[in-house]
Structure 1
Amino acid sequence: MLRETAREAFRALSKRVPSYMLNFEVRPGIVFGFTCYWSWVWVVFWSSLFYAEAPPASLFGVEGLDSLGALWFFSLLFMSATLLVISCLGEKASTPAARTLFMALAASLTAVGTAMVAFPSQLFAPSVLPQAYAFGASLLGVGSAFEMTLWAELLACLGSRQSVVYFVGSTVASVVAFVLLVALGTGFSRFVTACLPVVGMVLFSRQRGLVEGVARASDRPADGDVENRSARAVLVDALALSLFFGVSYGVMKGLFVFEGGDVIAFRDQLNALSMVIASLAIFVTMGMFRMDFRRLTYQVALPLMASGFVLFPAFAPLNLVGFFLHQIGYQYFYTVIWALWPVMASRCRVSRMRLVSLGIFGVQFGQLAGSLAGAFIIGLGLDSQGLGLVSSVSVFVVLVVALFAFGNPVPSDGWITLRPFGQHEERRSKFRQSLESLSTVRGLSPRETEVFELLARGRNKQAIARQLCISENTAKTHIKNVYRKLGVHSQQAMMDMIELDAKGK
């Protein structure tokens, strides 16, 4: 019943937005499973439910740094280390056996670690409370690394368009769960939160066939279809972008120290509102306006993040407005990064598991390093002039990154080459031009065009069904329609037509 309700809601939504955004079969298991994970993340790290349970123990002996808390520090530290290990494993981490192990570790370690930081005084004696709490935060970080990597790999297999749609849908649903759990504010809420990672992994286990199906039927582009880039260059790009993003958010977190129950509650409300606004904004700009990734970051995300640093040294409530704007830019940029990973993975023969784990490592390690730097600055007790200088330097760094990373006009060098929702590179091959011209001239629908491109890359009916997340009967129907509109009767005849058309260009 719930599954059919979700499908009907998705169909109703698809009638109100362009067809190229939602022309795939929704999988409620992905939406609900991803929602469980993000609800867990935001309740644990973005609310006061878990930080309030931390034992009153000094972490660093420095007032500014202690404001971060043991939960934040140890979880991010061990999460970053785990992600780095997964990335170094390379192809070994992409096997079915490895995924099974990762699923078990993700569910068990995250649930146990969350329970340890949720109920420390009930589970441990006062003499070992700080050490046990830190150990629980460490387990939580290790388990979360596995779980986030598995979800990121799955979305990377589905492509940029589905990544954004699932990410936005799960974010909005997670906000509802976040608000409800925080509003209850009881031990029961913390218990439910500890169970969410287990539920998420159970739902993921029913979708893992998508990942392994794509791995068996490699969806690498044909020769000359995309810009030829080395695996190392793609990994460096992913790491650099993620580090910048993570450090920016971490610095802002370290600079803003919320004290008092009313202020913290207001912060939680700002977080929830910023997530909804950013999700809707990314859906509109990427889907309806079809903005490329350069414009998404250069014209939307980075200005929002820079405005947060500009208003940071101001007096209340302007500083809260700055925090709010930065949160919107953060969530917006985060969605862009998740949409970039599928595109980057298509540019070289690097495993998606390695790419996404390295990207997430950059985000998490950047957040840790940035928050330590921000908290250290606050601990120095700077006056308004000093804080204004920090603000100016932060904005300058954002602008420099925007200029050199996103402003490069050369298509082969900058992030401008990456386009959302199947948009193509400006320098296209004759093969690509032929596919597009034949699709237009022969009147292929958006879905038939996708099937046409996969057929041109040598995919069979089973591979097409797996990659597009449709049934084999549906794939067979689309293939028949493509052949009929092209006036051919076989895949080989279709390839001959494409080759003949390419020679004339």
Structure 2
Amino acid sequence: MFDREIKEFVPLRQLGWAFLLAWVFCVFYTNAAGGAETGIVEGERPFGLALYYAALPLAASVATLGTIVIAEPHVGAPTTHRQLIVIAPVLTAISTPLMLIAPADPTLAAVLFAAGSVTTGVGSALMWVMWGEYYAVISRDRAELLAPASAVSAALLVLLVSAMGGWVSTAVTSMFPLLSGLCFKLVWTPHAAQAETHLARANRAAPHASAHQPLAGLGRTGLGIMAVFAIVSIAGMMYEGRLDGTPLQVILIFSALMMALVAVMAVSGPRRISMFFLYRWMCPTLVVGLAALILFGESGGIIAVAASLGGRFTFCLIAQIYFANYACAGRATPAQASSLGWLFVHAGDLLGVVTWLALQPTMVTSEGLTWLSVGAIVALVTVTMLVMGEHSTFLRAPEQSSPAADFPSVAFEATNDEDPVPEAPTTNAKPETPSSQADVRPTEDHIAELASTGALTPRETEVFALLAQGRSIPYIRDELIISRETAATHAKHIYAKLGVHSRQELIDLVRS
């Protein structure tokens, strides 16, 4: 098993999301890329000007992502326009220096920053969505290996850039979107495009027509994401100085280790990566960072920044997987799901920046900092309680209404340097329609009869019912909240008791 997982990482192009993640952290979340000061933390600019520099890039991204959500049913996903796969990374790369250079003329500086903000906002938003589409059409197992590996790689890339200086760091950072775009062009094969088309078409054909109401399945999760990211954003600005050099590098190493630990804990456990898993890890980390401000005042700000940066990295990798699953569950098309995910993330960032700038005049005293930290902790706990109680945010859609179930060839695996091949077994050359699947869906009585004949245990009967519907071991693991090894062991016992040797033979037995 371990050797197989290592081989899956041989095509490093699949880690191309790491370059995009590293770019956004270098340009927006750290001082790794250098460049002009915005004065958000130091209070060197008046409110209006500080808001201009802080909010414009985020507003451009939010506007682009919102446009994609609305326009996708009419004009198609970004990946359906092949020229965007080239235009988006090039546009982002050539515009990045405009945000980082600082001309002496303030008017010229403002104009260049505006041009860079709008173009990078549009280009990077398109890239976020395209990588989200890729994660939606690969298997969950692969996504849960690639996303943490990409996030850890991104932290190490930011660490590398932070050790550089001057124009070198700016030049390297500007190359990241190009490298990410190149990787995406290599992984977005015709098979991947076909899989995305099938998944989007299945979603639009579903009875609940969620493609026209992509927010309907989010429940309170979307607002929870936005609120928590606003708190993360505020925590990251509670440090007066410019964070660079050794302190920044130590925090980046902490972030990489945190993500690696979260990934190992998730992959080795039965629940795997989920939004609940996110809150379980992020809340204690953020509370510790905010508590440091309460206990130590301004000197605890660096701990809050560490908690914020680690939380951002972890949040990004989990959001990438969560909204890919959101698409696979039939809640929205892949492009809409990814757009919604990053829309809430960037909107939360924007909310946090505006809140911080509005409250910054009260932060001149340690008492004001303490009250803001207490308020952030209360808000964090409240949002967590609301989201943790929202069971509809889990993406195990009803069996009859999940387009992903009706299109088993949507997910694909990429092995070594070969083209992707279908992951789930199917005897048809093309995906079946929901109606044709319903005609051959096994009945509960027939399943119960076969289970009784084979002397299956109650748990084996549950696994048997899912296998009979063509479900994979990862799906069964998540549906029954058991480990992958336990699900595989149950499947092995079922095959032996029923005298079959593969899932297809089992399905044929049930349908006979």
Same structural fold, with TM-score higher than 0.5 when normalized by the shorter chain: yes
Q: How does 1:71-470 map onto structure 2 within 5 Å?
A: 72-92=54-74, 94-95=76-77, 98-119=80-101, 121=103, 128-209=108-189, 211-218=192-199, 231-237=214-220, 239-254=222-237, 256-260=238-242, 263-291=243-271, 293=274, 295-313=276-294, 314-348=296-330, 350-381=332-363, 383-407=365-389, 413=392, 415=394, 456=470
Secondary structure at the counterpart of residue 315 of structure 1: helix
Aligned mates of 1:109, 1:393 — CA distance in 2:
40
Secondary structure at the counterpart of residue 39 of structure 1: helix
Mark the runs of 5 or more structure 2 residues left unpaired by the alignment. 398-404, 406-441, 457-462, 473-493
Secondary structure at the counterpart of residue 153 of structure 1: helix
Aligned counterpart in structure 1 of residue 509 of structure 2, from 491, 497, 504: 497
Preserved contact between residue 232 and residue 311 of structure 2 (Cα < 8 Å):
no
Preserved contact between residue 239 and residue 302 of structure 2 (Cα < 8 Å):
no
TM-score (norm: length of structure 2): 0.70
Preserved contact between residue 154 and residue 211 of structure 1 (Cα < 8 Å):
yes
Preserved contact between residue 151 and residue 313 of structure 2 (Cα < 8 Å):
no
Q: Give the aligned residue type for 2:285.
A: L
Alpha-carbon distance change, 415 to 114 in structure 1, aligned in 2, over 3 angstroms: same
Q: Give the aligned residue type for 1:245.
A: V
Aligned mates of 1:163, 1:115 — CA distance in 2:
32
Aligned mates of 1:149, 1:391 — CA distance in 2:
33
Aligned mates of 1:116, 1:323 — CA distance in 2:
26
Aligned mates of 2:289, 2:455 — CA distance in 1:
48
Preserved contact between residue 62 and residue 379 of structure 1 (Cα < 8 Å):
no
Counterpart position of 1:41: 24
Alpha-carbon distance change, 325 to 249 in structure 1, aligned in 2, over 3 angstroms: closer
Q: Give the aligned residue type for 1:357.
A: S
Q: Give the aligned residue type for 1:280.
A: A
C-alpha distance after superposition, 1:227-264 (max 9, x if no partner): 9988542245553243123212222234x24325xx43
Aligned mates of 1:220, 1:287 — CA distance in 2:
31
Aligned mates of 2:192, 2:224 — CA distance in 1:
25
Q: Give the aligned residue type for 1:151.
A: W
Count residues in correspondence: 429
CA apart distance, 1:137 = 2.1
Mark the runs of 5 or more structure 1 residues left unpaired by the alignment. 1-10, 419-423, 443-448, 459-481, 501-505
CA apart distance, 1:330 = 3.4
Aligned mates of 1:441, 1:109 — CA distance in 2:
62
CA apart distance, 1:100 = 1.6
C-alpha distance after superposition, 1:373-408 (max 9, x if no partner): 023212234533333222222111111122221045
Aligned mates of 1:218, 1:305 — CA distance in 2:
37
Preserved contact between residue 82 and residue 142 of structure 1 (Cα < 8 Å):
yes
Preserved contact between residue 238 and residue 358 of structure 1 (Cα < 8 Å):
no
CA apart distance, 1:84 = 0.6
Secondary structure at the counterpart of residue 244 of structure 2: helix
CA apart distance, 1:25 = 3.2
State percent identity of aligned pairs. Answer: 18
Aligned mates of 1:52, 1:75 — CA distance in 2:
15
Counterpart position of 1:421: none
CA apart distance, 1:497 = 2.2
CA apart distance, 1:32 = 4.1
CA apart distance, 1:290 = 3.0
Preserved contact between residue 43 and residue 178 of structure 1 (Cα < 8 Å):
yes
C-alpha distance after superposition, 1:262-301 (max 9, x if no partner): x433452244123212211221221113345365234322
